[in-house]
Structure 1
Amino acid sequence: MTGTYQTLTVDLPETESEAAQDLLHELGAMGLEVRDREGPTMPGVRAPAVGEAIIVAYFEDADTAEQARAELHEAYPSARLQLAEEQQQDWSNAWKAHIKSVQVGRLWVGPPWEAPNAPADKVRLVIEPKMAFGTGDHPTTSLCLGAVDDYMSTHPGASVLDVGTGTGVLAIAAKKLGAGRVVGTDNDPVSVELARENAVDNGTPDVELSGKELTAVEGPFDLVVANILANTLIELAPLIVPKVKDRLLMAGVLAHQKAEVEAAYVNLGLVPEPGAQQGEWVRLDFHRAK
């Protein structure tokens, strides 16, 4: 049939994921989407179970897809396999259906096409998603937005550092909520460029956004936020902790990773506080001992 393609969705143990991906390529997959527990899952997309990965393989025709299903079943008997036929879509626009606006505290955060519906009584952030993470509707971002809103309501004029700024959403939110000096860093040049565009579009061009290493950023800051993955948070702990003058908020951490990440920062002298959780994602809060 014209206008359709086949998908084979594979749920299997994460330890078998790479070998299964290789096999799917050999069996003629046009492309693969891989979801695992170390990476944030896009909103509206099914996440894998603990200890598992999901691979979605795309095939041009039903015969090739069925052959791949049979081979995968033989190679990985415990894998759960599902074949489906999908309609061809205009992918340049179809992904927009998954990006939703959110309201957190005093904030409304959403994409440009939802901005006309933003409530008049909210502080509005319009974030162009493009190719960087952090549109507001992922649990890790909304967990941080709520905490930034709380902190800024009691610390007007506070200085803020956003480590791994992505789209710049947390840095821009802090500025719009009354922060003083705001700095955002990211090691991805595409993210930095997009964050700068978003800062200008939101009327906060004075947010300092760059690809600087943390050692090159002049601090410390009243509030430090970092919405990045757990292994990176652990690796960066010796660089992040010296930048914390008062409060540190971190997300991008799954519940089963919390203890290990927390220990890395407690060992460097920060004091943990009750954080927050949304689904399987947690936010870790710390303060510097007086």
Structure 2
Amino acid sequence: MSQTYLSLTVELPEDQSEAVQDLLHDAGAMGLEVRDREAPPMPGVRGPNPGEAIVIAYFEEMDTAESAKAEVAADHPDARLLLEEKPQQDWSNEWKALIKSVQVGRLWVGPPWEAESAPQDKIRIVIEPKMAFGTGDHPTTSLCLAAIDAYMTSHPGASVLDVGTGTGVLAIAAKKLGAGRVVGTDNDPMSVELAHENASVNNTPELELSGKELTQVKGPFDLVVANILANTLIALAPLIGPKVKERLVLAGVLAHQKAEVEAAYRAQGLIPEAGAAQGEWVRLDFHR
């Protein structure tokens, strides 16, 4: 295995970020890191200029990286590009240093290398951080975990749907907290694969994890959770709404996006509750 990896840093207008992400993924990137208004960088990490985004793609082969750089330059002439070679070991250590365990209610969620230090009185969930979202330490994930813990305390055996399951952390948490039927869906095959791996590691193989469209998922569910970006939540409102039997929890929403997301679900007959916030991220709670 190569002792180095290649990072291609792309700085460009924020409204071009998604197109560049798709391009880099199709060009063979092993993974992507995005820093923008929707995903602020970790403390100590350089953020983008106002109105811009930073997209960093990781590659193993120089030819692949250079080809990707050329494609981005051709399609996005305003982008500023930097291709660097870095030691493999440094990347691994830096990546691990960003992933921290969290304790939320009855739960401990963390990476494998911190599992031995998990408190004995907590329900332990081990998540291998790879290329899917949801390691527990992001505010939106923590907000959802808190909501699931509170709901399952008073509704043991409830059915749960996790829309955009990512690593599967929310679905796994629901099951470990006493849920009955638990379904997790994601349109990214890599996320579904990783969610299955994490379900196995956490002894929750009975989870229904797949890439099914919501129209193919039999419902409704007592609790529906969706931790995805605001624009996607709005687009999916007509599909998510009918799946809610009693309670809906939404995250991935910044404070300035709250009103628009809330309106989309009011239109589905759902009634807003107080919700919660962590920093600039908000959680929207509804009941039927």
Into which bin does the TM-score normalised by the smaller protein fall? Answer: 0.7 to 0.9
Shift of 1:87: 7.7
SS of the residue 2:173 aligns to: helix
CA-to-partner distance for each residue in 1:48-80, whole Å, 9 max, x for gaps?
57745357799xxxxxxxxxxxxxxxxx9xxxx
Q: How does 1:81-92 map to 2 (within 5 A)?
A: 88=87, 90=89, 91-92=91-92
Shift of 1:267: 1.1
CA-to-partner distance for each residue in 1:113-159, whole Å, 9 max, x for gaps?
00000000000000011111100000110010011000001101000
Paired position in structure 2 for 1:209: 209
SS of the residue 1:246 aligns to: strand
Paired position in structure 1 for 2:161: 161
CA-to-partner distance for each residue in 1:181-231, whole Å, 9 max, x for gaps?
000000111110110111111011101100111001000000000000111
Paired position in structure 1 for 2:198: 198
Q: 1:281 to 1:179 in 2, by over 3 A?
A: same
Paired position in structure 2 for 1:131: 131
Shift of 1:94: 2.7
Q: How does 1:23-42 map to 2 (within 5 A)?
A: 34-38=34-38, 40-41=39-40
Shift of 1:263: 0.5
Paired position in structure 2 for 1:231: 231
Q: Kindly indicate whether the alpha-carbon contact (under 8 Å) linking 1:143 and 1:276 is maintained by their aligned counterparts in 2.
A: yes
Paired position in structure 1 for 2:268: 268
Q: 1:218 to 1:92 in 2, by over 3 A?
A: same
Instruction: Point out where structure 2 has 5 or more consecutive residues left out of the alignment.
Output: 1-6, 19-31, 59-77
Q: 1:12 to 1:195 in 2, by over 3 A?
A: closer
Paired position in structure 2 for 1:287: 287
How many correspondences in the alignment? Answer: 256
Q: 1:186 to 1:56 in 2, by over 3 A?
A: closer
Q: Kindly indicate whether the alpha-carbon contact (under 8 Å) linking 1:136 and 1:142 is maintained by their aligned counterparts in 2.
A: yes
Larger radius of gyration: 1
CA distance in 1, matches of 2:15, 2:142: 31
Partner amino acid, structure 2, of 1:190: M
Q: 1:98 to 1:212 in 2, by over 3 A?
A: same
1:253 aligns with 2:257: no
Q: Kindly indicate whether the alpha-carbon contact (under 8 Å) linking 2:35 and 2:41 is maintained by their aligned counterparts in 1.
A: no
CA distance in 2, matches of 1:156, 1:133: 27
Matched residues, percent identical?
79
Paired position in structure 2 for 1:98: 98
CA distance in 2, matches of 1:148, 1:17: 32
SS of the residue 1:157 aligns to: coil
SS of the residue 2:53 aligns to: strand
CA distance in 2, matches of 1:178, 1:33: 34
RMSD: 3.4
Paired position in structure 2 for 1:112: 112
Paired position in structure 1 for 2:221: 221
CA distance in 1, matches of 2:161, 2:56: 37
Instruction: Point out where structure 1 has 5 or more consecutive residues left out of the alignment.
Output: 1-6, 19-31, 59-75
Q: Kindly indicate whether the alpha-carbon contact (under 8 Å) linking 2:163 and 2:227 is maintained by their aligned counterparts in 1.
A: yes
Shift of 1:11: 8.5
Q: Kindly indicate whether the alpha-carbon contact (under 8 Å) linking 1:43 and 1:99 is maintained by their aligned counterparts in 2.
A: no
Q: 1:182 to 1:266 in 2, by over 3 A?
A: same
CA distance in 2, matches of 1:251, 1:139: 9
